[in-house]
Amino acid sequence: MKLQKYISKVLDILIAIVLLLFFASFGFRDGRTSGWYQQFFPNMNGSTIMSMTFLDSLTGFAATNTNSLIQGYILKTTNGGDNWNIIFTYDSLPYNNITFTSLKFADKNIGYVGTNYYDLFKTTDGGNNWQKLYISFGCSDMAAINKDTVLIVQSDIIDGGVYRSTNGGLNWQALGPTGGSGQPGSIYMFNKDIGFNLGSSGMKKTTNGGLNWFMIPNETYSGIKFIDTLTGWKCWDSIKKTTNGGLNWFAQRTPSISLNFAPYSSFSINNRDTIWMVGARNFSHIPIYKTTNGGINWGYQIPDTTVSNYSFTFISFINSKVGWVSLMQNNYEIHTKVGGDDTTFFTGIKLVENFIPSGYTLGQNYPNPFNPSTNIPFELNESGYIILKVYDITGRTIKELINGRWGKGRYILDFDGSSLPSGIYFYRIEITGDITKTLYIETKKMLMIK
């Protein structure tokens, strides 16, 4: 009987080991305790991801730089990034410094991958086969608009410029002078007519498919997206919104949770209310930022699989639930199927619609006296940097309510004083206008009675 029990225990252990090996062979991993989990790329012999895109909740593509084997790769996933397969290998011999730079798809079948040399690759069957197209310029960035129209920008001082093909990449036209300094290194096209590019000379816009470009003064971007021909957002050291097609931009409230100096790098727009953004980090985490009211209030998520010391460079949401965030050149990627973790939103502040301020104003809180919460109104007739703090009667800072850039408008802040004792308090605002650089300071008194 004892021998039989011993044999039974041994069999149980063997079965457990077999099951663990079985699950491991299919890529099951722990660490999925939150709304985000890490995904992994196959062995690429030292290559790192340079460009990535997702066409739907299952299908995605990525392109790498070249490695010590002088090879670059195009990868594809058909299960939302849980598994990636190398579908094309680029042998760049006899050159050893050629790399894939930009990967874009016009639809689910037609896609392009550019290089920093004179090779452009095209697929017409969803990545199963890739055809090499020889061009006379390199590719810094690309916009694939439809099956016929593709635009490429190159920042090089020799062959840099804007190039367009209207027959699927077979022939190319140089739009404007090529070569020289200030050529664009990135391009975004909302449709076949309207788009933007960015180079060292600044940000430019086209309304005729790239034939002509005009300057948008004093603006730059790392990511830019439009929801229609008039309304769009862009980010760099702050996030800005336009409602007139990019002619003017106003800063929205920048998310601030002890940020380090890394700028915002990329964002994804689901609709005119819901926007996701990555890039800037604090000193211990890399937050994923989210707004559900078009940027009036920003919240953040800190996934438990995140890495430190870096900033995310890519974000893409197919819908409100399914999205990816990646630190591409370190081959680090996380994925959510449930909209990520719970979002921690900042202090409740709402924008009063259709109100045009005439100046800077800090209003009297109401109700006053209050218990335990009250409303603090303020107005800005131009975007600016705001600091709003609450002090006790001795002048000691009790709470910092705002520290960041805000757009023009009238706002009402909900201040919760439930953790404070009864007494007299002061709230003080400092505003520095983005345009006029005017400094406005005002202090008001409020009374809490419990």
Between CA 20 and CA 203 the distance in angstroms is 54
Residues 261 and 239: their CA atoms lie apart, in Å, by: 15
* Region for residue 354 given its phi and psi (left: phi exceeds 0; alpha: psi -120 to 50; beta: otherwise): left
What domains can be seen in the chain, in order of their start residue?
A: 37-345 (2.130.10.10), 349-448 (2.60.40.2550)
Dihedral angle, C-alpha 107, 109, 110, 111, nearest 10 °:
90
**Could you tell me if 367 and 419 are in contact, meaning their C-beta atoms sit under 8 angstroms apart?**
no
Rounded to a whole number, what is the largest CA-CA distance in the chain?
92
Q: What is the per-residue burial (b if ≥16 Cβ within 10 Å, else e) of 231-260?
A: bbbbbbbbbbbbeebbeebbbbbbbbbebe
Q: What is the pLDDT of residues 255-295, one digit of tens each?
A: 655 444 457 889 899 888 889 998 866 555 678 888 877 87
Question: If you write DSSP's letter for every residue of 44-108 in order, what string do you get?
Answer: -TT--EEEEEESSSS-EEEEE---TTSEEEEEEESSTTSS-EEEEEEE-TT-SS--EEEEEESSS
Separation between Cα atoms, residue 254 and residue 245, nearest integer Å: 21
What tens-digit pLDDT sequence spans the chain (450 residues)? 445 555 455 445 444 443 334 333 333 333 333 688 999 999 999 999 999 999 999 999 999 998 888 899 999 999 999 999 999 999 877 666 789 999 999 999 999 999 998 899 999 999 999 999 989 999 999 999 999 999 999 998 888 999 999 999 999 999 977 878 889 999 999 999 999 999 988 999 999 999 999 999 999 999 999 999 999 999 887 788 898 999 999 877 666 554 444 578 898 998 888 899 988 665 556 788 888 778 777 777 877 655 555 678 899 999 989 999 998 888 989 999 988 876 655 556 777 766 778 889 999 999 999 998 899 999 988 888 888 999 999 999 988 888 777 778 888 888 888 888 999 999 999 999 878 888 999 999 999 998
What is the spatial order of strands in the sheet that 361-362 belongs to? 349-352, 409-416, 373-380, 361-362
DSSP symbols for 294-340? TTSS-EEE--TT--SSS---EEEESSSS-EEEEEGGGTEEEEESSSS
pTM of the model: 0.72
Tell me the residue type at 63. Answer: A
Q: Which tens digit of pLDDT belongs to each residue from 309-353?
A: 567 889 999 998 999 999 888 898 999 998 887 665 555 677 776
d(CA 380, CA 360): 5
How far apart CA 176 and CA 153 sit, in angstroms, is 12
Give the separation between CA 288 and CA 22, rounded to whole angstroms.
34
pLDDT number for residue 86:
97
